[in-house]
């Protein structure tokens, strides 16, 4: 069964969502991310995708206290991302309760450091972030086109030991118009053993069911939950 992973994005300690990664198109959904996290845990969800958007902008971890609070007060398995650039950032993230981290821009700009993390911490703790725009990897808060094709990028890191990838189609993110089914099918078909986590555009449980039918192992959803397009009761029923 497909794994449903709710997302909490953090700006100034608050639960927010952006549209297509645009900081100017920000909606605050809750002042207390812990309250949101607990609502997920209460229905039996076990995973959480936590993104430090302030950190992504600052290029170093910022909202570590939010991470620590959620990790201490829930049993959620948290993967944490946003601005992780140094060994010290990872040390803080893991010490504050992250069980996995996601690295995107650094996997493009500083391959030696990112590859070193895979070796040091193990592939079970390091997730490759592959954010896509027009089939190329986008970096630096989605503002920069790396010119690197998504499949070539992922293939390079699969050879280095990566086993999990979160791929977001930027054109779909926050639009509630459905995910990029073709993108995730391509990843699945090219890398059969890769744990592909779809992200961006999910608008309903039907989208999640379609991803499951196409063999996608996991999906991240955020805005659809916060906008009531997917209810926690629907997710709870899906798992029963």
Instruction: Provide the residue ranges of all domains of the chain, joining segments of one domain with +.
Output: 3-238
Query: Which one of the listed residues 54, 79, 131, 173 is annotated catalytic?
Result: 131
Please say if 131 is a catalytic residue: yes
pTM above 0.85, yes or no: yes
pLDDT of residue 170: 85
**Alpha helix segments (H runs only) across 96-201:** 105-109, 111-121, 150-158, 181-190
Backbone angles phi, psi at 80, to 5 degrees: -120, 135
Residue 168: count other Cβ atoms within 10 Å of its Cβ.
25
pLDDT of residue 20: 66
pLDDT of residue 175: 73
- What is the greatest pairwise CA distance in the chain? 44
Distance of alpha carbon 125 from alpha carbon 6, whole angstroms: 18
How far, rounded to the nearest angstrom, does the alpha carbon of residue 67 sit from its chain's CA centroid?
A: 14
Given the structure tokens 């971890």, which residue do they identify?
Answer: 61
Contact 51/39 with Cβ under 8 angstroms?
no
Q: Tokens representing 4?
A: 């449903």
Given the structure tokens 């390091």, which residue do they identify?
Answer: 126
| Beta strand 164-169 pairing with 144-149 | unpaired
- Per residue of the chain (240 residues), what is the pLDDT tens digit? 999 999 999 999 999 977 766 777 778 899 999 999 999 999 999 999 999 999 988 999 999 999 999 999 999 999 999 989 999 999 999 999 999 999 998 999 999 999 999 999 999 999 999 999 888 998 765 566 678 999 999 999 999 999 999 999 888 877 788 999 999 999 999 999 999 999 999 999 999 999 999 999 999 999 999 999 999 999 999 987
Burial 117-140 (b: 16+ CB within 10 A, else e): bbeeeebebbbbbbbbbeebbbbe
Best CA proximity match to 182, nearest among 141, 150, 158: 150
> May I ask the CATH class of domain 3-238?
alpha beta
């Amino acid at each position: 069964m497909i794994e449903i992973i709710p997302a909490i994005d953090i700006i100034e300690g608050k639960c927010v969502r952006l549209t297509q990664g645009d900081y100017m198109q920000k909606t605050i959904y809750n002042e207390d991310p812990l309250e949101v996290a607990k609502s997920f845990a209460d229905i039996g969800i076990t995973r959480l995708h936590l993104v430090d958007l302030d950190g992504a902008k600052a290029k170093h971890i910022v909202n570590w206290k939010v991470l620590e609070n959620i990790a201490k007060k829930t049993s959620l398995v948290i993967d944490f991302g946003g601005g992780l650039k140094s060994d010290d950032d990872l040390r803080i993230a893991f010490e504050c309760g992250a069980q996995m981290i996601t690295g995107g821009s650094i996997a493009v700009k500083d391959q030696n450091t990112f590859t070193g993390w895979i070796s040091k911490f193990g592939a079970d703790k390091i997730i490759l972030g592959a954010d896509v725009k027009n089939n190329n990897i986008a970096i630096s808060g989605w503002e920069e086109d790396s010119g690197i094709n998504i499949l070539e990028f992922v293939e390079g890191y699969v050879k280095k030991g990566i086993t999990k990838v979160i791929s977001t189609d930027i054109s779909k993110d926050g639009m509630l118009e459905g995910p990029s089914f073709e993108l995730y099918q391509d990843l699945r078909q090219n890398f059969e053993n890769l744990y592909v986590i779809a992200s961006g555009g999910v608008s309903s449980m039907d989208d999640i069911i379609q991803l499951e039918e196409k063999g996608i192992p996991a999906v991240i959803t955020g805005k659809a939950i916060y906008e009531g397009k997917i209810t926690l009761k629907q997710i709870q029923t899906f798992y029963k």
